[in-house]
Amino acid sequence: MFSELVKVNGYLVQAFSICRRQVWLLARGVTAEQSNESLALGRLVDQNSYARERHQVGFGDNKFDFVQGADGELVVCEVKKSSRAERSARLQLAHYLYDLQKAGIEARGVLMFPTEKKRVEVELTDALKAELDCVYAEIESLAQRNVPPPAEHCKYCGKCAYAEYCWG
Amino acid sequence: MGKTLYLLSSGSLKRKDNTLFVERVGEKPRFLPVETTDEIMVMGELDLNKSLLEFLTQKQIILHFFNYHGYYAGTYYPREHMNSGAVILAQAAHYTDEARRHKLASTLIVGAIENMRKVVAYYQRRASLDVEDILSDLERFEAMAPQSGSVPALMGIEGNARNRYYQFFDRLVQDEAFKMVERTRRPPSNRMNALISFLNSMCYILALSQIYRTHLDPRIGFLHETNFRRFSLNLDLAEIFKPILVDRLIFSLVNRREIQEKHFEKETGGGIYLNDRGREIVLRAWETRVNETIEHPRLKRNVSYRGLMRMEAYKIQKHILDDTPYDPFVSRW
Amino acid sequence: MFYDVGEKRVGKVLKTARRYLTWIQNSVLEGDLSPATFEALKIDVRKILDLQYDSVLFYAWRTERYMSREVVGVERGCTDFMV
């Protein structure tokens, strides 16, 4: 039995709202195929947008794409290739803000979609915090399961880097 | 998925201007695109240095070496980049649990024999051969596999099935120059054996390269013993594909006379091997074959045989993680 | 890929392009790229170019089936995967 504790980071939170099976796999270090086209394109957008501002910041188990500060206010920015999974990106960013708040740091969040020239502000509300608490608990119990949730087809499967793993 | 480069002639391979650079005696030096390369097969003599190996590690490119006769000599397997303690532990636990190991090993054999039957049945239809006896024996061996008591017993069944299957080769191939008579290894005693040995090793390497792109450890196989061997999981995977990829290719090369007597040479030690020209013809045909695509019924996209090999490794990984029971790939025709 | 760039940048563009494609003749390279690798090549090349002055052209085919290629005279570079 695999009993190591899972490190709940932004990536897992984001994955959780898209696919539970992916969370189980990630908790075991079963990472996605790096040569996957959609993943590689995402990486390119990530590495080549906001070249001046960007500096990955590690915080706990998380990695922020970059942070900005103005008038004593901290802004955490998260870059995404497309807004297709905006809801899960929002949850990921809220998780960062929540982790910061737990350490006594107040911050705002901004989601950035450079290819769509779009920005979305994220604020950490009580509702989001409650949702996140549920997500953490579910991720932990999911990761402890001996057997992964079976593959279920959803709209993200087509471009998912695990598609060949799940459906091959 | 990247490409496979074959270095047939002798020379040196270097890192230069952040890409690969090959220099050969009497030929113009050439740059090779590193960003689209997955693996390099080294058949000729090659000079290389550590800075190249570090570069290959960074780019996750595997290097396979072959000796003068085209025999597999070894692999530069860059530091694994897909690490999962959970998968390695599950793989080892699956091996040491005899009942579970036997189950997986017998499924592999059933898959392998089923693909042998597909090949025989295909030529039975096409060439109207009388091979009913071989087919029914293979069917019998296939049914015996899951009932066998141990992994060594399974290996015995596999050996018997393969010997019976090899008898089909001489019924299909009419050319006297390519009769197999019996399977001989190290050294191959005739042209057919030389072809089989050479292409089988290409199939093992194909599997090894694909396992590198998964979280599995190539050292822990289930059918083949792990002890005294560097790699064994790739041998397991190759069993499934050898009939479809290797044997079908051999028949087509021989029957179309793309490979002829002049493509072999006899060594003083008694073995018969492909010569340089023969090896190039076979490798070109092999590369074309593994890049051929078929439509994957569940993914609904075209997948090459090389890609199918990777997915077969995924299936093993899913099996040992108690995710989805392993169901071997069986050719549709 | 065809490029026509300022003298100072010629070497840099060639070096970058060679990581992805094969040199065919002066200022011309060829190769088979996945969409993501193609993007990566364009990003890397763009970093070198003077966008007011230089020009790089890409002709892309979805499949080789609809492409024909003919050489008149000397074949300078080749894309063979067997060396």
pLDDT tens digits along A49-78 = 766 666 777 888 888 888 887 777 888 888
* Cα B239 to Cα B153: distance, rounded to the nearest angstrom: 17
Is the CB of residue A108 less than 8 Å from the CB of residue A73? Answer: yes
| DSSP codes joined into one string, B255-278 | HTTSS-GGGEEE-TTS-EEE-HHH
Q: Which of B1, B5, B18, B36 to mutate to test the interface with C (most CBs of C within 10 A)?
A: B36
State whether residue B31 sits within 8 Å of chain C by CB: yes
Q: Which residues of chain A lie closer than 8 angstroms to C34, CB-CB?
A: 37, 40
Comparison of pLDDT for B6 and A54, the residue scoring more: B6
- Rounded to an integer, the average pLDDT of B11-40 is 93
Neighbours of chain A (3+ CB pairs under 8 A): B, C
* pLDDT value at residue B125: 87
The whole-number average pLDDT for the span B160-171 is: 91
Instruction: Report the gap between the CA of B34 and the closest CA in chain A (Å).
Output: 14
Report the share of chain B in percent with pLDDT over 90.
Answer: 65
- Give the neighbours of chain C: at least 3 Cβ pairs within 8 Å: A, B
Tokens found for residue B315:
């299936």
Taking the Cβ of residue C46 and every Cβ of chain A, the question of whether any pair is shorter than 8 Å is answered with: no
Count how many pairs of residues, chain B against chain C, have C-beta atoms within 8 Å. 53
For residues B43-58, average pLDDT: 94
Tokens of B162: 């393969």
Strands B37-42 and B3-7: parallel
Q: Which of C13, C25, C81 to mutate to test the interface with B (most CBs of B within 10 A)?
A: C81
Across the interface, whether the CB atoms of C32 and B36 are under 8 A apart is answered yes
Residues 6+ apart with CB under 8 A from B93: none
Q: Is A168 on the interface with B (CB under 8 A)?
A: yes
Residue B218 has what pLDDT? 92
Given a cut of 90, is residue B17 above it in pLDDT? yes
Mean pLDDT of chain B: 91
The length of chain C in residues reads 83
Tell me the chain A residues in contact with residue C37 when contact means C-beta distances shorter than 8 Å: 40
Backbone angles phi, psi at A12, to 5 degrees: -65, -40
Q: What is the pTM of this model?
A: 0.90
Contact list, C36 vs chain A (CB under 8 Å): 37, 40-41, 44
Cis peptide bond prior to B187, omega within 30° of 0: yes
Q: Would you place residue B36 in the very low, low, confident or very high pLDDT band (cuts 50, 70, 90)? A: very high
CB hemisphere CA count around B172 (13 angstroms):
27
Q: What's the pLDDT tens digit per position in A141-150? A: 898 888 999 9
B223-243, pLDDT tens digit by residue?
Answer: 887 666 678 999 999 999 999
Average pLDDT over residues C59-75: 86
pLDDT score of A82: 83
State the Cα–Cα distance between residues A150 and A22, nearest whole angstrom: 10
Residue A6 has pLDDT above 80, yes or no: no
Q: Could you tell me what percent of chain B has a pLDDT over 70? A: 98
pLDDT for the residue numbered A3: 62
Angle at B142 between CA B140 and CA B146, to 5 degrees: 115
Q: Which residues contact A81 (CB under 8 A, 6 or more apart)?
A: A41, A42, A45, A46, A113, A115
Residue A1: pLDDT over 60: no
- Among candidates C19, C81, C83 on the partner chain, residue whose Cβ is nearest the Cβ of B35: C19
Contact A48 C43 (CB under 8 A): yes
DSSP strand pairing (B264-266 vs C2-4): unpaired
Of A38-52, B91-105, B255-269, highest mean pLDDT: B91-105
